[in-house]
Amino acid sequence: MRSAEDNRIDLLALKAKTVLDKQIAPFWEALKDKDFGGFYGAMDFDLTVRKTADKGVILQSRILWFFSELAMLTQKKSHTAAAKHAFRFITEHCFDDVFGGVYWSVTHDGKPSDTTKHTYAQSFALYALTSYYALSRDEKALALSEQLFELIESKCRDNGGYLESFGRDWKISPNDKLSENNVIAERTMNTLLHVFEAYANLYRYHPEPSAAVSEAMTRILETFIGKVYSPEKRRLEVFFNRTYRSLVDLQSYGHDIETSWLLDDGCRMLGSFGLTQEIFKMDCVLAESVYERAFAEKSLLNECEKGKNDTDRIWWVQSEAVLGFLNQWEKTGEEKYLAAAEDIFEYIQTFIRDDRTGSEWYWGVHEDGSPMDEHGIVSDWKCPYHSGRMCFEIIRRGRI
């Protein structure tokens, strides 16, 4: 007999399916560039599609990942076609045939634009290609995934972990793309998290995952425990120099709650009891800390720098909070976390969803609920990744 909580999850899963079917999937399908391949790289707040904007490789990779996972869920030919369309553009235009890896961006018609090689971008290309392989069983996707894993390990990693930014020829360059808050970081929690996420996807979908992948995942988890997590502050540090000295007093609520479920998910696959218990404990503290400090008015604050909260509500932060609190409820059984996940999901539908014809979700809203109109609806960072994954993960937990 199913419990009242199980029925609530089923209802949430039905709502998530509607969001996928009615909001997210149709919007991104409509952005397919039928002339030059891939998907358009920008849409302004006024819903003007900038067809000649550069196409960020992270955006293109996240779209490939989204439609690959969506097609496996729905079995719809149109979703498989969208994934194949994204795969073709990435493989034909975004890889550097001379030095290896993917660029940061290409022009709208597929020529190299920003040839920076960033660890974060390599990771998302790997993440996307492994999901596309799971959908299509295309051996080219698997081979490219393996190549990217080897490249990240050989070009992006040193004895301490992962460095961030490189020139086209893999010479180290300043990490201006993933540094914020007036610092230039040599290492970031964000890149480390998404290298782990990509490796976990490779481990999940590879027909014969190698020991090298599991060993790399284990190293990353140990780095989180030993160098990134601050048990005294009950948070992750964000930006570091090369020796992991924190460069700014900052708690990123969105990244902390995202980490709290993503690392749990990867640990479950590895099956290392001692490490899993240690990670689960850390992730519980992160989720509890975020709930106590950032859950307000049925939504999640953005971040806290030097003790001052940024009260804007950002689309991706809300999406990750739904999953983080849902994961915490599954681990602890504490009803408040399930209620928080439900509340934030409804907040998204009330405030973040953009009901204008031809739109999807706002980048975010201010504390009073007004849209952040300085941000576009599509950009290098505004994509179907966080929102789509929120829906996928809820649906997998429900019975619909």
Task: Residue 267: count other Cβ atoms within 10 Å of its Cβ.
Answer: 22
For residue 271, what pLDDT is reported? 86
Residues of the chain predicted below pLDDT 70 = 1
Nearest alpha-carbon partner for 168 in 110, 100, 107: 100
For residue 124, what pLDDT is reported? 98
For residue 308, what pLDDT is reported? 98
Q: Is the pTM of this model over 0.85?
A: yes
For residue 6, what pLDDT is reported? 87
Q: Are 228 and 220 in contact (CB under 8 A)?
A: no
| Residue 129: exposure state from Cβ atoms within 10 A (0-12, 13-18, ≥19) | buried
State pLDDT tens for residues 182-221. 899 999 999 999 999 999 999 999 999 999 999 999 999 9
Report d(CA 289, CA 253) in Å as an integer: 9
